[in-house]
Amino acid sequence: MRPPPLLDVRDLRRNFGSFAAVDGVTLSVQPGEVTALIGANGAGKTTFYNLISGRLRPTGGSIFYRGRDITGTPPHSITRMGIARSFQITNIFDQLRVIENVQVALVIRQGKGTRWWRRAARDEDLRLQAGELLERLGLSGLAMARAGTLSHGDKRLVELAIVLATDPQLVLLDEPTAGMTPEETHAVVDLIARLAETGPQTFFLTEHDMDVVFGLARRVFVMHRGRLLAEGSPDEIRANPEVRNAYLGEEVY
């Protein structure tokens, strides 16, 4: 008996002109199960995430989140429903302080966006929760720095902090370790593993670093030219000859 899926995607399509970047993908993500989406560059992973997170409108198909049809819902509503994402290319608030980056999401989540009189800096709730989150990600020392001045790896952590600050049920991470040094990658993998273990969030990530995927994920989907090629446990995927041919054979990493 499997629990009802957290995310249920049916026959999702997206065309750019006549080119189908996502070509009829059906998959579901179970709560609490770290899931990975792998595939060569250009396979359509980012486009797939853009569809789920509301950045792009699907050409066809539908997306159900906790049983509810969210196809065509705008990004901010999707975020507030509990799906948060990071971007393949780091996307944060450069000129704001690190702690403020996190507080943007907290303000919305705590329904404080209409407070125009009280100082944000004096709001204990905002300060404590942001502090706690930064602590968890090892960013405490950088709380007051302008986010744009951080190292690449730290910026990616700031983005992860923003994502977690929205209090998501489902976290979409688009190549969370892209451009990181091996040490940073290691640290982020540990972090995600720890969060997945303890937290209420379900992680759904794309990667093309296989070590990362096989270390983290319990369930793996393989995308190839817009279509789903295979799914299964890491071991099954590793042993799947079709995947070897189509994907591992292309030597993308």
Partner 1 sequence: MTGRGAARRVTLLALLAVLAAWPWLAPYFAIFLMTEILILGLFAASFNLLFGYTGLLSFGHAAYFGTGAYVAALLLRDMAPPFLAVLAAAAVGAAVVALVIGWFSVRLTEVYFAMLTLAFGMMVYALVHQWRGLTGGSDGVAGFPLTAPLPGVAVNIADPVNYYYLTLILVAVSAYVLHRITVSPFGLILRSLRENSERASFAGVPVRRYRLAAFVVSGLFSGLAGALFAPFNRIAVPEMAHWTQSAEPVLMTILGGSQYFFGPFLGAGVFLLLRQWITSYTQEWMFFLGVILAFLVVFLPRGLLGLFDRWLGGRS
Ligand X SMILES: Nc1ncnc2c1ncn2[C@@H]1O[C@H](COP(=O)(O)OP(=O)(O)O)[C@@H](O)[C@H]1O
Binding mask 21-60 for Mg ion (x = CB under 5 A): -------------------------x--------------
Q: 137: which 2 tokens? A: 């990600």
Nearest distance in Å: CB 44, ligand X: 4
Pick the closer one to Mg ion by CB: 46 or 202.
46
Q: What values do phi and psi take at 57, rounded to 5?
A: -90, 135
Pick the closer one to ligand X by CB: 168 or 226.
226
Pick the closer one to Mg ion by CB: 132 or 250.
250
Nearest distance in Å: CB 3, ligand X: 29
Side chain identity, residue 202: T
C-beta of residue 108 within 8 angstroms of C-beta of residue 82: no
Distance of CA 160 to the CA centre of its chain: 8
Q: Which residues bind ligand X (CB under 6 A)?
A: 16, 21, 39, 41-47
Nearest distance in Å: CB 47, partner 1: 16
Q: Side by side, which strands form the sheet with 68-69?
A: 19-29, 7-16, 60-65, 68-69
Q: What values do phi and psi take at 63, rounded to 5?
A: -125, 120
Pick the closer one to ligand X by CB: 39 or 58.
39
Residues contacting Mg ion: total by CB under 5 A: 2
Cα gap 74→215, rounded to integer Å: 33
User: Parallel, antiparallel, or unpaired: how do β-strands 202-207 and 35-38 relate?
Assistant: parallel
Residue 43 site contact among partner 1, ligand X, Mg ion, none (CB < 5 to 8 Å, cut-off depends on kind): ligand X
Q: Which residues bind partner 1 (CB under 8 A)?
A: 53, 55, 74-77, 79-80, 84-85, 91-96, 100, 103-105, 107-109, 112-121, 123, 126, 162, 165-166
Q: What values do phi and psi take at 23, rounded to 5?
A: -125, 70
Q: What does R_g of the chain's alpha carbons equal in angstroms? A: 18
129 scored as a contact of Mg ion (CB under 5 A): no
Footprint on this chain of Mg ion (rule: CB under 5 A): 46, 88
